Amino acid sequence: MPTRPKSAAQFRKRSELLDFLLEVSTLTSETLDLDRLLASVAEIVKKVIPYELLAIMLYSEKAKGLKIRYAIGHREEVVQNLVIKLGEGLTGTAALTRKPVLVGDVRTDPRYLNVVDAVRSELAVPMVFRNKLVGVIDVQSTRLNAYREYERSILTLIANRIASTIDNARLYLRLKRQNSVLRTLTRISQEFAAILELDELLEKIATTVRSMIQYDSFSVLLVDEQQQLLRHRFSSRYDERTRIDNVPLGMGITGAAVQARQTIRVDDTLNDPRYIPSHPDIRSEVAVPLIVHDRVVGVMDLESEQIAFFTEDHVRTLSLLAPQIAASVENARLYEEVALREQRLEADLAAARELQSVLLLVEPPEVEGLDVAVGHRPAREISGDLYDFFPYRQEQVLFAFGDVSGKGAAAALYGAMVGGLLHILARRRYAPSQLMMNLNETLVERKVDAQFVALLILLWDHRTREVRMANAGAVPPMICRSGQIILPRVEGVPLGLLEHREYEETCFQAAPGDLILLYSDGISDQQNSAGVDYGRSRLATLIRKFWLDPPQSIVNKIFADLDEYTGGATPSDDQTLLVMKVL
């Protein structure tokens, strides 16, 4: 499958993105020292987005504008003196609208404030927490169109994750909390982030909060959006677990906190009509909403037998803890959901694996004039690679060899659909280029988001030893004749992306003894422990050395050499080989 150049780190799987966001949460929760925190943010951004200049600007109520709090590449006098009003420049626009601003060429945008002449591209993303502007992360590059939608999305994710942490750090500076409290907050944030089992996490939260606030009753309720309920996931009283009924959204003090999206403190529950009695001796309560990415996922509720027990200091402490608790609870809840889904999917994957073993030929059919061998190793339980053989006209056989975007079940299902369409269209005996064009139009009509297939079609004529080829973004074949490598030029756009595409057709005249190798990019792109690709040159060297061997022997030698190169590492992508020798 063709790969596009990477200007920054790319996340191929959802799990990789979750791991990165967990790293962001962990790094930014390790400290409430604002200077260290912003330095960590700059390092995090640098990992995924290239920049020459970076500014983390915080909103100042006193100055009524944005001031640079951390910078890389900017002159010292700019850092010390620059104040940008809301709506002024690109960063001020991002702050005012609370939306990212992306400009590929700042020279064409009248809003741009020229600080460095060499700058060509700028991306400014606001940081907002609890509907309050915290600041703006601004990156600049000397390259035109250096940033795209991908960089905007990643920087927005980072900004959403760190906004609450930066706001908490500023709150810490203003309040000058004692060092012991800060150490406790940092420690428990790390502990919470490391726990993915939800019940274990909630037990830890209850114990940790009680070490700081001597409550008499503690509950965590999670939002059930479908049923419009607050479901009690965890409750305790005097360190004994209790069970309380679910609460409709909007009812009780907990429901009011969710609805208002802010902490509610009640000094005397007997004088508050919203209070739902859970224990007859409870007299005061504080409910703290748990918010992740501007979405309320639950509420943390503390109760006491004393009137007006909870203070403003308690509320501040809980406010500092709430974002990390919310993120940790949401991560654990998602982990729990994923574990349940994995159990359900395991049976489906086993059935899919058995079905695919029937669809993908283990033993190739006999083809007159060719000795054919196949090798296939999926990266996961099921594969996104596809290969098939179709009798065509008399003395002719059609070979299809392709790679579906992605891996796993989705890729396998898409590949099965492509294979079915190929069987239907191949019966009409189109030329390879026409078959490719018809298949593309059929796939575009059935377009699936983010799914396409790179496909190579070869038509073999036994009488003339002629091979006609059409390519749709797949790796071109490698041909070895008398120990010399021939790389025929055959190109095209992957199928299922663009409508009304035409495909070239190339003819190759084979000779007795020629070796024709088709391989997926899971072979050439497999990396060793140093991160270096196996590569086509190493593959070509191996072919030149063993081209006289039988095709099945060559398949075995390629896989053995690949395993030696990678130290037996698990394939990162599906690996498929089709080796044909002209008799």
Q: How many domains does the chain have?
A: 3
User: What is the domain extent for residue 522?
Assistant: 360-582
Q: Are residues 441 and 525 in the same domain?
A: yes
Is the domain of 107 the same as that of 244? no
Question: Strand locations in 73-129, DSSP E?
Answer: 83-85, 101-103, 121-129
Average pLDDT over residues 242-248: 69
Q: Residues 65, 196: one domain?
A: no
The Cα 34–Cα 28 span in angstroms is 10
pLDDT given at position 250: 82
Q: Quote the pLDDT of residue 2.
A: 38
**Bridge-partner residues for 108, per DSSP?**
none
146 shares a domain with 212: no
Return the higher-pLDDT residue of 414 and 6: 414
Query: Is the domain of 233 the same as that of 365?
Result: no
Confidence of residue 276 (pLDDT cuts 50, 70, 90): confident
Statement to judge: residues 418 and 367 lie in one domain: yes
**Which of 245-254, 306-315, 518-527, 552-561 is the least confident region?**
245-254
Q: Supply the pLDDT for residue 68.
A: 94
Q: Quick one: average pLDDT of 545-549? A: 95
pLDDT over 70, % of the chain: 88
Domain annotation covers residue 345: no
Predicted pLDDT of residue 329: 87
Q: Is residue 48 part of a domain?
A: yes
pLDDT average, residue stretch 134-159: 93
547 in a structural domain: yes
Whether residue 546 is found in the same domain as residue 421? yes
Q: CB of 44 within 8 A of CB of 30?
A: no
**Residue 191 in tokens:** 């502990």
SS3 167: helix
pLDDT of residue 344: 67
Secondary structure of residue 487 in the 3-state scheme? coil
> CB atoms < 10 A from the CB of 10, how many?
13
Residue at 109 is within a domain:
yes
CA diameter of the chain = 97
- Lowest-pLDDT range, 11-15, 189-193, 283-287, 290-294? 11-15
Give the Cα separation of 431 and 428 in Å (integer).
Answer: 9
User: Can you tell me the mean pLDDT for 497-506?
Assistant: 91
Q: Lowest mean pLDDT: which of 156-160, 169-173, 515-519?
A: 169-173
Mean pLDDT of all residues in the chain? 85
230: pLDDT strictly greater than 70 = yes
Does residue 353 sit within a domain? Answer: no
Residues 265 and 311 in one domain: yes
* The pLDDT of residue 183 is above 70: no
Same domain, 49 and 197: no
Of the ranges 278-287, 419-428, 560-569, the best mean pLDDT one: 560-569
Is the per-residue pLDDT at 238 higher than 60? no
Query: Which of residues 11 and 542 earns the better pLDDT score?
Result: 542
Domain boundary among 279, 301, 336: 336
Domain match, 190 and 133 both:
no
- Domain annotation covers residue 35: yes
Q: pLDDT confidence of 175, banded at 50, 70, 90? A: low
* Predicted pLDDT at 285: 94
Residue 1 maps to a domain: no
Q: What is the mean pLDDT of residues 260-265?
A: 93
Q: Do 451 and 481 sit in the same domain of this protein?
A: yes
The answer to the question of residue 129 being in a domain is: yes
Domain end marker among 108, 133, 167: 167
Q: What CATH number is attached to the domain comprising 305?
A: 3.30.450.40
Segments in 117-148 forming alpha helices (H): none
User: Is the same domain home to 149 and 198?
Assistant: no
543 vs 545: CA distance, rounded Å: 5
